[in-house]
């Protein structure tokens, strides 16, 4: 292999990300058309509210449910490829079982771990404490949902990939500023969320890069790959399963003591070890000389996909459940301030799962095809690092973009792979100046795309949320 081609892994992976975004836009068209219909329905509801003098609270609930349902389906359709594409492309799971698996994992994540982000979006961006008795709080959240949906629909129509989390944060801030004044917006929280948007891709990149270095040095490049795989992969998978099981147990019962927690988490961890050892031995029997990495990593990749689906549901359900809980609270359907009921989280999770099952197949097929997928090893590193990072953000109640975090993982894996190649053959370090400049430009363009996406989205959705709030308050006569 030429020295010029050996260090192009990151550029190729970034190119695949770009191709996946193009495929995502085409596959998202049915949901986009449905979004136009939703906006038409909401417009009709607002017009009816203005002309008929109907109770604004009931119409707000109707408009909020319609917009939130579409937003949930859009999230499920749009982001399923991040979770499932690598596993389908690597042959770890079939399309239909994979869609069902990710949908169920997303529902579980929404119900068990979605409360923190939902509560942050419901009451952490705009101070609603003394203002919940009037109709302005639910109206502001309806306007925030409308602003986010308008921007997502417009951006999709012009081929610009945007984050749902960024959109809803901007929409809530803009609508809240109009409804309650600029002083009601918690600018410190917005600043913290913005810092997290920058930090999480870096964290995911560091984790993914470290994991790739471990796999390359200990398994892929080992003289005896079978022995190395038996030594390293079963404990790795067992640790993944055990820690994730412990996390789930704590979510179910936060008062559990450490000894029973360890005992309960140990059982699935041991099962993961045994399953991986069986997979490695089966692959060794088929290819005793040099087994392929893809079949060896199938159990690990499958578990990482489940974790990423769970993390996706835990973080993104807040985009639906947070604002919707405030809308429902305005009619006394949600009792407590700052607490998002499990039923609302479940509804948001079901909407996301519906989008995954109804609209996800085409997108997963495109992204999981040989054109756009990462190979199994890099896909595993990126998926696991993204899942861990998003779960950490969810535990802190911070909404993040799963796609942007995954791109950070791609960068980390690419840089780690190039470092390993240079470490193996330092004579390949020297590159022509034109080639080095081209790579800098390619990578800088992806960093710029991510940065511009969230820098532009928040002001635009804030403006749209503010405009929608003015319209909603006028229609309600508030």
Give the tokens for residue 351: 């909407």
pLDDT, mean of residues 338-349: 87
Residue 403: pLDDT over 50: yes
Q: Cα–Cα distance between 208 and 183 in angstroms, integer?
A: 40
pLDDT, mean of residues 141-154: 87
Containing 157, the helix (H) or strand (E) segment is: helix 136-157
Given a contact cutoff of 8 angstroms between Cβ atoms, the answer to whether 46 and 471 are in contact is yes
CA dihedral 101, 102, 104, 105 (to 10 degrees): 110
User: 403 versus 116: which is more confidently predicted?
Assistant: 116
Given a contact cutoff of 8 angstroms between Cβ atoms, the answer to whether 240 and 211 are in contact is no
Residue 277: pLDDT over 80: yes
Q: How confident is the model at residue 1 (pLDDT cuts 50, 70, 90)?
A: very low
Give the tokens for residue 250: 């704590």
Looking at residue 32, its pLDDT comes to: 63
Looking at residue 202, its pLDDT comes to: 92
Q: pLDDT tens digits, residue range 348-357?
A: 999 999 888 8
Q: How confident is the model at residue 312 (pLDDT cuts 50, 70, 90)?
A: very high
pLDDT, mean of residues 149-166: 76
Q: Computed from CA positions of residues 267, 300, 20, 204, in that sequence, does the dihedral angle turn out positive or negative?
A: positive
DSSP conformational letter for 401: -
Q: Which of 381, 275, 305, 353 is nearest to 88 (CA)?
A: 305
Residue 322: pLDDT over 60: yes
User: 371 versus 271: which is more confidently predicted?
Assistant: 271
Highest mean pLDDT among 63-77, 91-105, 421-435, 457-471: 457-471
125 phi/psi in degrees, rounded to 5: -90, -35
Highest mean pLDDT among 25-29, 138-142, 315-319, 431-435: 315-319
Q: DSSP string covering 152-193, please? A: HHHHHHTT----HHHHHHHHHHHHHHHHH-GGGB-HHHHHHH
Work out the burial of residue 186: count CB atoms within 10 Å of its CB; fewer than 13 is exposed, 13-18 middle, 19 or more buried: middle
pLDDT, mean of residues 47-60: 67
Work out the burial of residue 16: count CB atoms within 10 Å of its CB; fewer than 13 is exposed, 13-18 middle, 19 or more buried: middle
Share of the chain above pLDDT 90, in %: 34
Q: How confident is the model at residue 52 (pLDDT cuts 50, 70, 90)?
A: low
Residue 461: pLDDT over 90: yes
Residues in the chain: 478
Q: Look up tokens 């038996």; give the residue.
A: 230
Q: How confident is the model at residue 225 (pLDDT cuts 50, 70, 90)?
A: confident
pLDDT, mean of residues 247-276: 92
Residue 469: pLDDT over 80: yes
Q: Which range is least confidently modeled, 252-266, 288-302, 385-399?
A: 288-302
Other C-beta atoms within 10 Å of 37: how many?
11
Chain centroid to CA 159: 19
Average pLDDT, the chain: 80
Given a contact cutoff of 8 angstroms between Cβ atoms, the answer to whether 333 and 53 are in contact is no
pLDDT, mean of residues 252-259: 88
Q: Cα–Cα distance between 75 and 163 in angstroms, integer?
A: 9
Q: How confident is the model at residue 283 (pLDDT cuts 50, 70, 90)?
A: confident
| Residue 99 CB-half CA count within 13 A | 20
- Strand pairing partners for 185? 126
Other C-beta atoms within 10 Å of 437: how many?
11
Domain ranges of the chain: 3-476
DSSP conformational letter for 184: G
Looking at residue 418, its pLDDT comes to: 77
Q: How confident is the model at residue 2 (pLDDT cuts 50, 70, 90)?
A: very low
Looking at residue 92, its pLDDT comes to: 72
Looking at residue 406, its pLDDT comes to: 82
Work out the burial of residue 365: count CB atoms within 10 Å of its CB; fewer than 13 is exposed, 13-18 middle, 19 or more buried: middle
Rounded alpha-carbon distances, angstroms, from residue 201 to 19, 219, 393, 411: 20, 26, 11, 9
Residue 16: pLDDT over 80: no
- Strand pairing partners for 126? 185
CA dihedral 329, 335, 337, 340 (to 10 degrees): -80
Other C-beta atoms within 10 Å of 342: how many?
14
Q: Which of 79, 117, 128, 109 is nearest to 193 (CA)?
A: 117
User: 411 versus 386: which is more confidently predicted?
Assistant: 386
Looking at residue 370, its pLDDT comes to: 39
Q: With helix as H, strand as E and coil as C, how does 327-391 read?
A: HHHCCCCCCCCCCCCHHHHHHHHHHHHHHHHHHHHHHHHHHCCCCCCCCHHHHHHHHHHHHHHHH
Q: Cα–Cα distance between 168 and 149 in angstroms, integer?
A: 9
Q: pLDDT tens digits, residue range 97-128?
A: 888 999 999 999 999 999 999 999 988 899 87
Q: Cα–Cα distance between 311 and 106 in angstroms, integer?
A: 7
User: Angle at Cα 189 formed by Cα 308 and Cα 472, nearest 5°?
Assistant: 90
Phi-psi region of 397 (alpha: psi -120 to 50; beta: other; left: phi over 0): left
Q: How confident is the model at residue 371 (pLDDT cuts 50, 70, 90)?
A: very low
* Three-state DSSP class for residue 126: strand
User: 163 versus 201: which is more confidently predicted?
Assistant: 201
């Amino acid at each position: 292999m030429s020295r010029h081609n050996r260090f192009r892994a990151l550029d190729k992976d970034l190119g695949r990300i770009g191709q996946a975004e193009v495929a995502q836009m085409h596959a998202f068209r049915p949901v986009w058309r449905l979004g136009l219909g939703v906006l038409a329905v909401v417009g009709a509801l607002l017009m009816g509210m203005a002309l008929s003098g109907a109770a604004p609270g009931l119409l707000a609930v109707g408009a909020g449910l319609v917009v939130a349902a579409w937003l949930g389906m859009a999230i499920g359709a749009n982001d399923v490829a991040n979770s499932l594409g690598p596993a389908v492309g690597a042959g770890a799971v079939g399309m239909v079982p994979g869609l069902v698996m990710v949908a169920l994992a997303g529902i579980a994540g929404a119900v068990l771990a979605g409360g923190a982000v939902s509560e942050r979006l419901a009451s952490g961006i705009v101070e609603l404490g003394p203002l919940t008795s009037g109709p302005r709080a639910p109206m502001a959240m309806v306007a925030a949902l409308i602003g986010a949906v308008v921007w997502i629909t417009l951006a999709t129509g012009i081929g610009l990939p945007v984050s749902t989390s960024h959109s809803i944060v901007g929409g809530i801030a803009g609508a809240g500023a109009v409804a309650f004044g600029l002083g009601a917006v918690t600018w410190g929280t917005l600043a913290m969320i913005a810092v997290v948007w920058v930090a999480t891709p870096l964290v995911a990149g560091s984790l993914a890069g470290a994991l790739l270095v471990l796999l390359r040095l200990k398994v892929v490049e080992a003289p005896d790959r079978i022995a190395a795989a038996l030594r390293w992969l079963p404990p790795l998978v067992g640790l993944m399963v055990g820690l994730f099981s412990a996390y789930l147990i704590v979510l179910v019962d936060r008062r559990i003591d450490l000894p029973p927690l360890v005992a309960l988490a140990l059982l699935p961890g041991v099962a993961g070890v045994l399953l991986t050892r069986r997979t490695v031995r089966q692959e060794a029997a088929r290819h005793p000389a040099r087994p392929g990495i893809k079949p060896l990593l199938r159990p690990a990749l499958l578990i990482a996909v489940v974790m990423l689906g769970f993390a996706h549901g835990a973080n993104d359900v807040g985009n639906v459940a947070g604002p919707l809980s405030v809308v429902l609270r305005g009619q006394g359907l949600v009792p407590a301030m700052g607490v998002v009921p499990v039923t609302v989280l479940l509804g948001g999770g079901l909407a996301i799962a519906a989008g995954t099952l109804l609209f996800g197949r085409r997108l997963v097929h495109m992204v999981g095809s040989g054109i756009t997928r990462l190979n199994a090893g890099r896909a595993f590193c990126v998926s696991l690092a993204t899942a861990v990072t998003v779960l950490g953000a969810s535990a802190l109640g911070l909404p993040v973009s799963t796609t942007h975090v995954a791109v950070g993982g791609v960068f980390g894996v690419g840089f780690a792979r190039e470092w390993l190649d240079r470490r193996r053959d330092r004579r390949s370090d020297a590159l022509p100046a034109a080639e080095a400049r081209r790579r800098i430009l390619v990578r800088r363009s992806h960093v710029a795309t991510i940065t511009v996406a969230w820098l532009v989205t928040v002001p635009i959705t804030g403006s749209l949320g503010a405009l929608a709030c003015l319209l909603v308050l006028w229609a309600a006569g508030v």
